[in-house]
Structure 1
């Protein structure tokens, strides 16, 4: 089983590369953003709980996010593993994810793939995306820079944990999409 934690700041091409990895290795992507939207829209118990925090402008506690993730991992799938996107973001979440994967899948995290792109390139990509996507958070340079810094501050500790386990790999996220994909594929092939 292949279980990938996929890192990359906003604008790094993570969404595109996740799709390519899914198709190449028959994986299922679990995105915490998608989980929140699904659970809130379908008014599940966890969705209602998450919404109660969001409506007050508070962060959803780790346990609620972890419970959503556990429910998703338990669903039957005919894939070869998972891509975890947006989770883990803290040391506690990292430990929780490792426990979930061990208990529910009888497996472990295979690798943490991190797309690395210089900040100025990220800002330019996001501003360009903002022109066509209609996303307001992609059209304000100050907000974009804050999001990028927030990403770095949140993921630094998690990256260190995976480095200690020799499971952290940085991939340059600049160049032709296919070339970047090939570098990611090569790393996954090493763990198959």
Structure 2
């Protein structure tokens, strides 16, 4: 009898200690920031500023794909098989990559999403995953199709140092030569006008509906993405 009581007491103490270690270290809700906007809207530039200011990690679908493919994970192999055929990677594969990434310790206080969610089903899956009390802010950078075309199709990349000029907004001092290192400037295949138009079509069909989705949820913040990058960040900063 005494032995049974001793065992129960040990179990009770162990359970109590285990339960206490499972409690979160702080009671502040996680903040999830979602960057929306067409290709060429400056999401990458603002993502770097947000990450520096807030200290939360930046998660993009492109990085998730590259990381999983380079590590030859099972998910990376699945994604690569679709990409090699020119097909879109299915939502379930993207979601599995996302859930795996945000389970890491650096995401406990929040994270910045760029390129995810890309579809309504992905947004709905994200909502189900997030715990009650999580603060969600969706920041939409609005840029006209004409400006997107000029920003992307006007890119000139240095073949040596990868520095990027733009023939419309930041042309090189010497035509065809990089201001930074003097290397030869080239236009990438995926920056060609016809490719940019197709990327815009995909965005307008798949991702633009997310703007209405988050507007209905009352978490959408719209910012003019055609302003100077410093002014854009100044308007983003209050939501961090």
TM-score normalised to structure 1 length: 0.88
Alpha carbons of structure 1 residues 144 and 78: separation in structure 2 relative to 1, 3 Å: closer
Residue in structure 2 matched with residue 61 of structure 1 by the alignment: 90
Q: Whole-Å Cα distance in 1 between the matches of residues 82 and 206 of structure 2?
A: 20
Q: For residue 89 of structure 1, what is the aligned residue in structure 2?
A: 118
Following TM superposition, by how much is the alpha carbon of 1:130 offset from its aligned partner in structure 2, in angstroms? Answer: 4.0
Indicate whether 1:181 and 2:233 are aligned.
yes
Aligned length: 184
Structure-2 separation of matches of 1:100 and 1:107: 12
Q: Deviations over 1:69-103 (max 9, x none)?
A: 0000001117742111111111110011122232x
| Structure 2: gaps spanning 5 or more residues | 1-29, 159-163, 165-186
- Residue in structure 2 matching 1:153, options 197, 205, 211: 205
Q: 2:71 aligns with which of 29, 42, 59?
A: 42
Structure 1 unaligned spans of 5+: none
How large is the Cα RMSD of the aligned pairs?
1.8
The alignment status of 1:136 with 2:189, answered yes or no, reads yes
1:70 pairs with 76, 80, 99, which one?
A: 99
Question: Which residue number corresponds to residue 114 of structure 1?
Answer: 140
Tell me the residue number matched to 2:50: 21
TM-score by length of 2: 0.71
More helix by share: 1
Paired residue for 1:166?
Answer: 218
Question: By how many angstroms is 1:159 displaced?
Answer: 1.5
SS at match of 1:159: helix
2:175 pairs with 1:123: no
Report the 3-state secondary structure (helix = DSSP H, G, I; strand = E; otherwise coil) of the residue aligned with 2:130: helix
**Aligned partner of residue 72 in structure 2, secondary structure:** coil
Distance in 2, matches of 1:37 and 1:78, equals 19
Distance in 2, Cα, partners of 1:40 & 1:107: 34
Change (3 A) 1:130 1:98: farther
Distance in 2 between residues matched to 1:33 and 1:141, nearest whole Å: 21
Deviation at 1:41, TM superposition (A): 1.0
Q: Deviations over 1:116-149 (max 9, x none)?
A: 11111111111222454553211x1121122122
Instruction: Give the drift of 1:3.
Output: 0.4
User: Which structure has more RCO (C-alpha within 8 Å, separation ≥ 6)?
Assistant: 1
